[in-house]
Amino acid sequence: MLAQAANFAVAYLDLNHFKPFNDIYGYSKGDAVLQMLAEIIQQQAIGTEHFIGHIGGDDFVLITASELAESLCQQILAQFAAKIPAYYAYDDAQKGGITALNRSGESCFYPLLSLAIGIATPDPQLCISHHDVAAISTAAKCEAKKLGGNAFSIYYRDVVGQIAILFCHWLDHLLLELG
């Protein structure tokens, strides 16, 4: 798509509070949630030209036409929010979440799993490779996670913003090479 200078969007999907869910309910239940999310993404993208990928863990990517991204992501969020309570014990679903230890070992309340989606529309004139697209998509996902709950954030094709992200990406790469 970059080589063709095509307009496209990358939706980076990430679950909020997945680790505590796995800690309480176990990996098989966590895997079932991941499978459910993958099925939702596939169902919503049917009939469109798209690419769906599982990046790893609880991260997924959906690459689609720019004009379809927002409505697809709204549908994915709605389906996920409707289905996720069924993956919890009745009492936890009624409470709206679970109590689990955080990374510091302290007891903490975590709301029901939710989905953060960052949507990026990379500029093919600025992005040299898929690494640049990944950097912009990651920035979009980080913005969506700041919103909390089932939410998406759209990172529109902002030349100044993309140049800043790409510069930081390039600088990180250079520093890694220099050791």
Task: With cut-offs at 50, 70 and 90, classify the pLDDT of residue 170.
Answer: low
Token pair belonging to 8? 């496209």
Pairwise pLDDT comparison (123 vs 106), residue with the higher score = 106
Q: How far apart are CA 92 and CA 11, in angstroms?
A: 30
Alpha-carbon distance of 154 to 137, in angstroms, equals 10
- State the alpha helices, DSSP H only, in 46-158: 66-83, 90-95, 130-147
pLDDT (tens digit, 9 = 90+) per residue, 11-69? 999 999 999 999 999 999 999 999 999 999 999 998 888 999 999 999 999 999 999 99
Q: How far apart are the first and last CA of the chain?
A: 33
Query: Rounded to an integer, what distance in angstroms lies between the CA atom of residue 74 and that of residue 62?
Result: 13
Task: Tell me the whole-structure pTM to 2 decimals.
Answer: 0.85
More confident residue, 127 or 105: 105
